[in-house]
Chains A and B, each alone.
Chain A
Amino acid sequence: EMQLVESGGGLEKPGGSLRLSCAASGFTFSNVWMTWVRQAPGKGLEWVGRIKRKIDGGTTDYAAPVKGRFTISRDDSKMTVYLEMNSLKDEDTAVYYCTTGFSAAFEIWGQGTMVTVSS
């Protein structure tokens, strides 16, 4: 069964840092691009950023609200993608999902991990 499991969420103060992890299983992780999407409480879905697979350069792209503060990385040997979040703001409060797919669309989603930024 193809699966993504996020972890690392929690309560952090404004200006603080958190690192989220997303562990994959059931498919060839090194073959896919990985994406983070977030959803603020009661709000819609927001694309956060992505990391390409190594053979495509392993490069990253970010949404404007997080660029320069968030960093996505991957460890194919651990089948894990990470989201390093620095200089956290109140508006970063959200459920963070990792997602991927094989046909350009996002077929597989994790259950999400909640990040709360509050003093």
Chain B
Amino acid sequence: DIVMTQSPDSLAVSLGERATINCKSSQSILFSSNNKHSLAWFQQKPGQPPKLLIYWASTRESGVPDRFSGSGSGTDFTLTISSLQAEDVAVYHCQQYYSIPFTFGPGTKVDVK
């Protein structure tokens, strides 16, 4: 199974400041058919289901604010919130959909400092 790790476990950022979350896969998740990485980012608020933010490592889902961006290559990926807003307080999960079982990272909790 592909193991997904995330760092940090949690972070607190001042409103308007940048938040950066890292995700690492235990092996390559590069999908050869389109040369893109099979990596998604989700936002989850308490009592709610996950919400897709980013897929193919860097493609923003429709309706997601452009302050959210994804990047990375190889086995290292990053979710960046360029200017943290109060409504961004949540847990963020990365997930690989390259091979079964599709595995998630343990999550990173983002709070306001």
Give residues in A with beta carbon < 8 Å to B: 35, 37, 44-47, 50, 61, 63-64, 97, 99, 101, 103-107, 109-112
Contact = CB atoms under 8 A, between A and B. Distances in A.
Nearest 4 CB-CB pairs, A to B? A105-B55, A109-B49, A45-B104, A105-B40
Interface stretch (B19-27, B72-80, B92-100): B92-100
Contacts of A63: 101
B49 A103 contact: no
Contact of A109 (B40, B50, B102): B50
Interface residues of B, number: 24
A115 B50 CA distance: 18
B69 interface: no
A104 B48 CA distance: 22
Given A47-B101, A63-B101, A106 B52 contact: yes
Nearest to B107: A44
Interface string B36-48: 0010101010001
Contact of B102 (A47, A64, A110, A111): A47
A57 B107 CA distance: 33
B101 A97 contact: no
B49 A44 contact: no
Given A37-B50, A44-B106, A104-B97, 4 more contacts: A45-B42, A104-B38, A105-B55, A111-B49
A63 B2 CA distance: 12
A35 B48 CA distance: 18
Contacts of B106: 44
